[in-house]
Amino acid sequence: MKVAIFVSGRGSNLKAILDSHELKNLVKVEAVLSDKPDCAAFNIANQYNIKTYTVGEGEKKLKSDEVVAVLNELNIELIILAGYLKLIPSELIDNFENRIINIHPALLPSFGGKGMYGMNVHRAVFNSSAKVSGATVHIVNKLYDNGKIIAQQCVDISDVKSPEEIAERVLEIEHSILPAVVKAFAENKIKFDENRVVIVK
């Protein structure tokens, strides 16, 4: 299965996918795209000889119709948002319906929506005094963090002393749950019911 990965920052989830032994013979990362040309994730892509593209408004950035054209040209079957912080243009959603997934660092539908990314999420979870957090992988629709949930895993945070500690625990989960969902896509195990998305055994 050919995939494209959208990133904005550090790229640890990108690396988790690239280093996954389980995905080695199943998944090929054909392109890494970012709204930030100087993001650390692009360095990772370069180390693995993967093509990089900068997207968004402004000079030398691919506009949404160009992004769709590039992804179609590369025969991309699944788009993975791995720490991509911008809203995905509707043109892309329409062209890749149910084939765009996102990793979110909390248990949706709580602690999601516009502005809820990275440490903002962990700070909100910490301040709520919640006793569990976790990671969610979901289908991307036209709203932030709103699509159907594919997989979730939770972690006990009852003893944490800071939002950073929550981030650390959740990130560990992210690095296993995201490759697991990508594997399920590659093995055609993701099924769309009328109301639910399920991973079949």
Binding site for ligand GAR (CB under 6 A): 7, 9-13, 41, 82-83, 103-105, 117-118, 121, 171, 174
Question: Least distance (Å) from ligand GAR to the CB of residue 171?
Answer: 6
**Residue among 104, 122, 138, 175 flagged as catalytic:** 104
104 catalytic per annotation: yes
| Contact present, 190 and 197 (Cβ < 8 Å) | yes
Say how far apart CA 72 and CA 150 lie, in whole Å. Answer: 24
Q: Which residues of 84-103 are buried (b: 16+ CB within 10 A; e: fewer)?
A: bbeebbeebbebbeebbbbb
Q: How far is the CB of 37 from ligand GAR (least distance, A)?
A: 15
Q: Are 141 and 93 in contact (CB under 8 A)?
A: yes
Taking the least distance from each CB to ligand GAR, the nearer of 37 and 65 is: 37
> For residues 147 and 141, is the Cβ–Cβ distance under 8 A?
yes
Quote the least distance from Cβ 10 to ligand GAR, whole Å.
Answer: 4
Residue 146, exposed/middle/buried by CB under 10 A (0-12, 13-18, 19+)? middle
Beta carbon of residue 178, minimum distance to ligand GAR (angstroms, whole number): 8
Look-up: residue for tokens 């109301």?
195
If the CB atoms of residues 108 and 201 are measured against ligand GAR, the closer one turns out to be: 108
Smaller CB distance to ligand GAR: residue 7 or 101? 7
- CB nearest ligand GAR: which residue? 83
Residue 105 or 147 having the CB closest to ligand GAR: 105
Q: Mind giving me the DSSP string for 151-196?
A: EEEEEE-TT--SHHHHHHHHHHHHHHHHHHHHHHHHTT-EEE-SS-
Residues marked active site are found at 104
